[in-house]
Amino acid sequence: MQRHLISAADLTRDDAVLILDTAEEMARVADRPIKKLPTLRGRTVVNLFFEDSTRTRISFEAAEKRLSADVINFTAKGSSVSKGESLKDTAQTLEAMGVDAVVIRHGASGAPYRLATSGWIDAHVINAGDGTHQHPTQALLDAFTMRRRLVGRDAGIGQDLSGRRITIVGDVLHSRVARSNVDLLHTLGAEVTLVAPPTLLPVGIDTWPCEVSYDLDSTLTKSDAVMMLRVQRERMNAAFFPTEREYSRRYGLDGERMARMPEHAIVMHPGPMVRGMEITAEVADSDRCTVIEQVTNGVSIRMAVLYLLLGGNEPALAHPSPTTALATRRFAPTAELRTTEEK
């Protein structure tokens, strides 16, 4: 299976740090006049989106284009999926056009895993969010943002997030972002606390490698980063809290609460935000909120993942496992990160 990025839980500490370090190199490319690298020239990547997306879809496309890949964008809306075509037939149709990697977002948890392990296609599979399961590149871009802000851009190279206290607040039950973040942050040595009403915590939460609290105010004061989650109405089929007003009062972040956070602490949100629900406009627009920075960092992280899985040095083995490839592949910026113009 391990030619793919399906879950943040599949990454070792060394894998994750290598991706973060590679993303720093990719971010430096973005500062150059010519932002394009020839690394994936001749490779074709399809973005297969069965669920709506703004950030993830566009930043994968930007990352692929910056690495000079040929890009095919597929959205279920307007495709033959509406005529009943299956995931298998859709994927095989696309692969018949010569696809090297599939970036997939799907409403069904496990769809990327199925695509990667069923033998339907040979392409690398990257999970861009599946149901309530995983969103590994979101967790990586979040960790990248935390490392830059809490450790430092240069000081962070080679470092993890040991000892940093991260609080994740809100609709954990429906959040693939929360799952991926808990997995990755634990691997990177951070201490994670989830804060949510009991109705928005999944069964089995006691087995997750984190603390759980129902009291946001007492947790805020000892957090280095506070990540607010959107309440995912589209996945709810029942009433999980009395009113929106009551939810915001207990679990929303406003200016008064933010003022109680340590001075260095940051506010994060994966987006899209529901202003006035989990976060007020005052907080969302404050200097402490990294939501836009997270989007920028998403392009660097996705370039790093594509580079490490698909490009760069040709692997010694035809199909190395991603953990092996990620952990052992040497990153060689002088050879690999010359821009198209410099080549």
The smaller minimum CB distance to ligand CP, of residues 53 and 68, is found at: 53
The smaller minimum CB distance to ligand CP, of residues 54 and 221, is found at: 54
The smaller minimum CB distance to ligand CP, of residues 271 and 276, is found at: 271
CA 263 – CA 150 distance, rounded (Å): 12
Q: Can residue 235 be called a binding residue for ligand CP (CB under 6 A)?
A: no
Q: Can residue 12 be called a binding residue for ligand CP (CB under 6 A)?
A: no
Say which residue the tokens 């590679």 belong to.
Answer: 22
Say which residue the tokens 């990177």 belong to.
Answer: 188
Q: Can residue 270 be called a binding residue for ligand CP (CB under 6 A)?
A: yes
The smaller minimum CB distance to ligand CP, of residues 175 and 187, is found at: 175
Closest C-alpha to 53, from 200, 226, 234, 184: 234
> Is the C-alpha dihedral spanning 334, 335, 341, 343 positive or negative?
positive
CA 333 – CA 123 distance, rounded (Å): 26
Q: How far is the CB of 299 from ligand CP (least distance, A)?
A: 13
Which of 12, 54, 221, 286 lies at the binding interface for ligand CP (CB under 6 A)?
54
**Binding string, 122-141, against ligand CP, x = CB under 6 A?**
-------x--------x---
Of the candidate spans 18-26, 49-57, 62-70, 306-314, the one that interacts with ligand CP by CB under 6 A turns out to be 49-57
CA 8 – CA 36 distance, rounded (Å): 28
Over its C-alpha atoms, the chain yields an Rg (Å, rounded) of 20
> Is the C-alpha dihedral spanning 22, 226, 51, 116 positive or negative?
positive
The smaller minimum CB distance to ligand CP, of residues 20 and 128, is found at: 128
Q: Can residue 92 be called a binding residue for ligand CP (CB under 6 A)?
A: no
To the nearest 10°, report the CA torsion of 115, 60, 7, 51.
-60
Q: Can residue 53 be called a binding residue for ligand CP (CB under 6 A)?
A: yes
Which of 7, 22, 47, 56 lies at the binding interface for ligand CP (CB under 6 A)?
56
Closest C-alpha to 171, from 97, 244, 98: 244
Measured from the Cβ of residue 238, the count of other Cβ atoms closer than 10 Å reads 5
Measured from the Cβ of residue 69, the count of other Cβ atoms closer than 10 Å reads 22
What distance lies between CA 190 and its chain's CA centroid? Answer: 17
Q: How far is the CB of 128 from ligand CP (least distance, A)?
A: 7
The smaller minimum CB distance to ligand CP, of residues 54 and 86, is found at: 54
Q: Are 179 and 132 in contact (CB under 8 A)?
A: yes
Of the candidate spans 20-28, 157-165, 221-229, 265-273, the one that interacts with ligand CP by CB under 6 A turns out to be 265-273
Of the candidate spans 54-62, 116-124, 195-203, 246-254, the one that interacts with ligand CP by CB under 6 A turns out to be 54-62
Q: Can residue 75 be called a binding residue for ligand CP (CB under 6 A)?
A: no
Question: By the criterion CB under 6 A, which residues form the site for ligand CP?
Answer: 53-56, 129, 138, 270-272
